[in-house]
Each structure stands twice: as C-alpha cells, then as structure tokens.
C-alpha cells in the first residue's frame, strides 16, 4: 500500500583511470597496479555491504595511445572482476579526461547520484593536449563535485597535471614510490574514501567542490611495510 513508484538506493560510481603507457612496464609497476586493484575488490565489497543505501558501481578506464574503457559498463561491485591491464603506447591523459567528461555529463549521470569517486594513477607526463579534456571534465557539474584522487607512481610524474585534475587544494597527490605504497593507497581510496562518499552530508551551495569529507590517512598506514632500495621506483 506504500505510495509512489519503485524505491532504489543511490548510485555511487567508482572509476579507476589507469596509465597504461610503455613506461608502466618497467620495474613491475603494471603488475603492482593490477595486483593492487585485484586486492582492493573484496574490501570494496565489504564497504558496500556496510553502506546498503549506496549502490556501488565500478568501472575502469585505461589510457596510453588514446583512451579506452577497460570495464565500460558500470558494474555492481559484487559482480566486478579484474582482468589485468597491459602496457603499451604513450600517455594520452587528455583523451582519458574527455572520456570521463562524457560519463560525468547529465545524462547519463543523474541528480540523485552520490558523488562519484575518480582515481587517476599515472607514472609520467601527458603526451597530448590534456588541458582541453580537463576543462571539459571540470565544466561538468559532476566533474566538479566528484571526489578526485591521483596517485603518482615514481618520480617522473607531472604532479601539476595530477593536482589540476584533483581540483581541490585540500587534497594532495598521493606519491607511491614502491609497490606496497601503491597497494596501500589503492586500498585506502577504495575503502575509506568509498565509505565517506557512500553517505555524504548536505553542503550549502556555493561551497566549491565535493561535499565528501575525506578521511585522514591513518597513523598506522605504513605499519608492516618493508621496502628495500631495489623496490623503489
């Protein structure tokens, strides 16, 4: 007898944006990224279960020479399986931003969605004119309201570009200098940040950016991490 149409939880889109340029082949970076995402999935499922009013939908976008969807359809986290990425080509980050702009537009995004979480992982410099793609992304209201994180792999990264993508001076680029750090940051982004985005509070309009309060990286984040010189990228 309850009035109204079909009830539904609110969609929360989580997108991995992965640099698959040739340089990611070096020093096991691509293997580490694949492993990190694969290990994060069970934790994401646990977070989704603990926040039943958010419908967590996962996708992955790869960019090297051009940008292509690795997992194109927004996939329920319980059904999300990871197929390894491979590296080859240059670093067309701008093309990735354009692809993101397309999916952040309304439609396909809806007003009732929860703020999306976009996680960009890169080890280098864009090789295309990324500014246009980034402008297009940030021209979308959801492009601005999304929680955007960037993980820099190694020291050859252009952090200014990653910071421009984040578009929030309260959030720094995360620096991963070894495989364990990458695993830890991916896990943090796909659990603590996902949890925060699952139940955001309202925010008064005019406050720029996302209304998701990012959790602090905990003090024991690096506990148990043992890194030797050879492991550092």
Contacts with other proteins, residue ranges (CB under 8 A): 1-10, 52-54, 106, 111-115, 141-142, 145, 170, 199-207, 210-211, 213
Shortest Å, Cβ 74 to other proteins = 15
d(CA 183, CA 176): 9
User: Which residues lie below 8 Å from residue 228, measured CB to CB, with a gap of 6+?
Assistant: none
Choose between 139 and 232: whose C-beta lies nearer to other proteins. Answer: 139
d(CA 119, CA 15): 6
Choose between 66 and 218: whose C-beta lies nearer to other proteins. Answer: 218
Shortest Å, Cβ 108 to other proteins = 13
Shortest Å, Cβ 213 to other proteins = 6
Shortest Å, Cβ 68 to other proteins = 28
Reduced to 3 states (helix: H, G, I; strand: E, B; else coil), residue 138 is helix
> CA 177 → CA 112, 155, 227, distances in Å?
38, 7, 10
Task: Match 């329920």 to its residue by tokens.
Answer: 76
Cα 84 to chain center, whole Å? Answer: 17
d(CA 109, CA 58): 14
Choose between 77 and 114: whose C-beta lies nearer to other proteins. Answer: 114
Shortest Å, Cβ 199 to other proteins = 4
50: tokens are 């603990």
Peptide bond into 107 cis (omega under 30): yes
> CA 36 → CA 10, 29, 65, 168, distances in Å?
27, 10, 23, 25
Shortest Å, Cβ 226 to other proteins = 32
Choose between 124 and 143: whose C-beta lies nearer to other proteins. Answer: 143
Choose between 170 and 228: whose C-beta lies nearer to other proteins. Answer: 170
Choose between 4 and 42: whose C-beta lies nearer to other proteins. Answer: 4
């Amino acid at each position: 007898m309850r009035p109204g149409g079909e009830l539904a939880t609110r969609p929360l889109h989580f997108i991995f944006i992965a640099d698959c340029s040739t340089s990611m082949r070096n020093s096991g970076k691509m293997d580490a990224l694949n492993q990190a995402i694969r290990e994060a999935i069970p934790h994401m499922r646990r977070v989704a279960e603990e926040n039943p009013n958010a419908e967590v939908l996962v996708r992955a976008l790869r960019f090297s020479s051009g940008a292509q969807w690795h997992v194109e359809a927004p996939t329920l986290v319980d059904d999300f399986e990871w197929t390894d990425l491979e590296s080859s080509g240059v670093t067309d980050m701008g093309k990735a931003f354009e692809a993101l702009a397309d999916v952040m537009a309304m439609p396909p995004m809806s007003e009732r969605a929860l703020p999306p979480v976009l996680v960009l992982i890169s080890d280098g410099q864009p090789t295309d004119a990324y500014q246009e793609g980034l402008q297009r992304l940030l021209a979308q209201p959801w492009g601005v309201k999304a929680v955007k994180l960037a993980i820099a792999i190694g020291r050859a990264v252009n952090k200014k570009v990653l910071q421009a993508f984040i578009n929030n001076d309260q959030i720094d680029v995360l620096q991963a200098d070894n495989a364990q750090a990458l695993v830890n940051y991916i896990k943090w982004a796909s659990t603590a940040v996902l949890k925060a985005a699952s139940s955001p509070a309202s925010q008064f309009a005019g406050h720029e950016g996302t209304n998701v309060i990012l959790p602090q990286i905990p003090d024991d984040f690096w506990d148990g991490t043992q890194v030797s010189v050879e492991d550092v990228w």
